[in-house]
């Protein structure tokens, strides 16, 4: 059980994922759900001038340095099924 996941998604089932990335136009937050720690964050309010997270269509465009994650991450396969998630 991850308290951070439950707080972000009340009523949803936690499936044991280690990381969660929450994105809005104003911020990107990366959480380790095993420890419930915020491990990386970007906030437009702390940039000058304020730079919102860019959006193309219905997707936000951002990157996270691989060093943020303490595990080797495997990229999702580029398939139409994964594109709909």
- Taking only the tens place, the pLDDT of each residue in 12-57 is 999 999 999 999 999 999 999 999 999 999 999 998 898 999 999 9
pTM as predicted = 0.78
Amino acid 16: pLDDT: 93
Residue 16 covered by a domain:
yes
For the chain, the maximum distance between any two Cα atoms, rounded to a whole number of angstroms, is 39
Residue 33 covered by a domain:
yes
**Count helices and strands in the chain by DSSP H and E runs:** 2, 5
- Do 47 and 38 contact (CB within 8 A), yes or no? no
Residue 40 covered by a domain:
yes
In the block, residue with structure tokens 């269509």: 57
Q: Does residue 1 surpass a pLDDT of 90?
A: no
Query: Residue 19's domain spans which residues?
Result: 1-56
Residue 69 covered by a domain:
no
Q: Give the chain's domain count.
A: 1
Give the residue-averaged pLDDT of 53-74. 88
Q: Does residue 81 surpass a pLDDT of 60?
A: no
Residue 84 covered by a domain:
no
Amino acid 80: pLDDT: 53
């Amino acid at each position: 059980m991850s308290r951070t996941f439950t707080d972000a998604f009340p009523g949803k089932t936690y499936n044991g994922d280690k990381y969660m990335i929450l994105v809005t136009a104003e911020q990107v937050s990366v959480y380790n759900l095993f420890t419930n720690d915020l491990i990386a964050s970007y906030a437009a309010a702390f940039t000058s001038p304020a730079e919102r997270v860019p959006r193309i269509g219905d997707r936000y465009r951002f990157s996270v340095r691989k060093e943020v994650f303490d595990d080797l991450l495997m990229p999702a396969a580029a398939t139409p099924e994964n594109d709909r998630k």
